[in-house]
Amino acid sequence: MRPKRNFQPNFCYHITTRCNNREFRLTRFECREVLLYAIKKAQEKYGFKLYALCIMSNHVHYLLEPKQPEELPKIMHWLNWYTAMCFNRMLKRTGHFWEKRYHSTGFANTDKRRALNTLRYIHANPKAAGIQQGFFYEFSNYGIHDRLSNDGITQWHPAFLELGRNLEECASKYRGFCKKYRPQSKPEKTNHWGSRFLPSMTKGGKSKKSPGQMSLPWDKQKVTESTEVHEVAEKFICANGFNPAVPGIEFMKW
């Protein structure tokens, strides 16, 4: 039986949603652009606040605060439904795109320590995955905290704004807080009834990378031809990427 969601006013929610079968369906640049555009449209529709975002190769992290607590399922249903339709058409596939229902944990906005730890955890995902050394990442919103920029989609959490007496001090303290991050090792997987049987049926070979740990092949991707979609993604990437002018990618004006 599914556990009941805990919806409370003045709560924000750390949400994780994964591609079905944990497949690496979000490596394509066009898919990431469309996801950013869909998030922007969902905000216009439901008016929620988005404090953190990180798009990995097969999963996405959000830290958001809905205008009304009971609107969270509506937001995620619309977002996952809209993107699933787009991605299936783009990738010429059918069936479920997202895996089961999204995972969500909520906490009060006044819990500053948990808010900062959650922000840092989300922003540290690419670093912890080993796909880069620093925290700047074109598809997370770490950049708006470090360089105090505006990506048009996300905003600062109240806990971030209380780190210092001015924005520069807030950014400096958050930067130092992130540098102290040490990823925790993941717990070992529990054995299931088929664990002893499966090894005898499978042959040896190199194990695949952990889910979500694939870097984006920038030089092999083409940007979408939709002006509005492209403009939303361009603003987000320029605000958050360490060096948005990645070789092989040129922002074209249609």
Task: Give a yes or no: residue 198 inside a domain.
Answer: no
Q: How high is the mean pLDDT of the chain?
A: 83
Angle at 23 between CA 217 and CA 28, to 5 degrees: 30
Residue-wise pLDDT tens digits, 23-57: 888 989 999 999 999 999 999 999 999 999 999 99
pLDDT reading at 254 higher than 50: no
pLDDT reading at 18 higher than 50: yes
Task: Give a yes or no: residue 163 inside a domain.
Answer: yes
Residue 204: band (very low, low, confident or very high) from pLDDT cuts 50, 70, 90: low
pLDDT reading at 3 higher than 70: no
**Confidence (pLDDT) at 179:** 93
Q: What's the pTM? A: 0.81
The CATH number of residue 167's host domain is 3.30.70.1290
The mean pLDDT value for 87-104 works out to 87
Task: Give a yes or no: residue 70 inside a domain.
Answer: yes
Task: Give a yes or no: residue 195 inside a domain.
Answer: no
Residue 211: band (very low, low, confident or very high) from pLDDT cuts 50, 70, 90: very low
Q: How far apart are CA 3 and CA 101, in angstroms?
A: 12
Residue 79: band (very low, low, confident or very high) from pLDDT cuts 50, 70, 90: very high
Residue-wise pLDDT tens digits, 97-108: 988 888 999 999
Q: How far apart are CA 26 and CA 108, in angstroms?
A: 31
Structural domain boundaries, residue 118: 11-185+220-240
Task: Give a yes or no: residue 209 inside a domain.
Answer: no
Structural domain count of the chain: 1
Q: How far apart are CA 239 and CA 237, in angstroms?
A: 5
- Nearest in space to 248 (alpha carbons), one of 216, 211, 225, 205: 216
Task: Give a yes or no: residue 212 inside a domain.
Answer: no
pLDDT reading at 212 higher than 80: no
Q: How far apart are CA 223 and CA 30, in angstroms?
A: 6
Task: Give a yes or no: residue 4 inside a domain.
Answer: no
- Nearest in space to 92 (alpha carbons), one of 39, 28, 33: 28
Task: Give a yes or no: residue 205 inside a domain.
Answer: no
**Confidence (pLDDT) at 130:** 87
**Confidence (pLDDT) at 221:** 39
Q: How far apart are CA 120 and CA 159, in angstroms?
A: 12
DSSP labels, the chain: -PPPP---TTEEEEEEEEBGGG---S-SHHHHHHHHHHHHHHHHHH--EEEEEEE-SSEEEEEEE-SSGGGHHHHHHHHHHHHHHHHHHHHT--S--B-SSPEEEEEETT-HHHHHHHHHHHHTHHHHHTS-SSS--TTBSTHHHHS----SS----HHHHTSSSSHHHHHHHHHHHHHT--PPPPPPPPP-TTTTTHHHHS---PPPPPTT-PPP-GGG----S-HHHHHHHHHHHHHH-SS---TT------
How deeply is 56 buried, as exposed, middle or buried, from its count of CB atoms within 10 A (0-12, 13-18, 19+)?
buried
Query: Could you give the percent of the chain with pLDDT greater than 70?
Result: 78
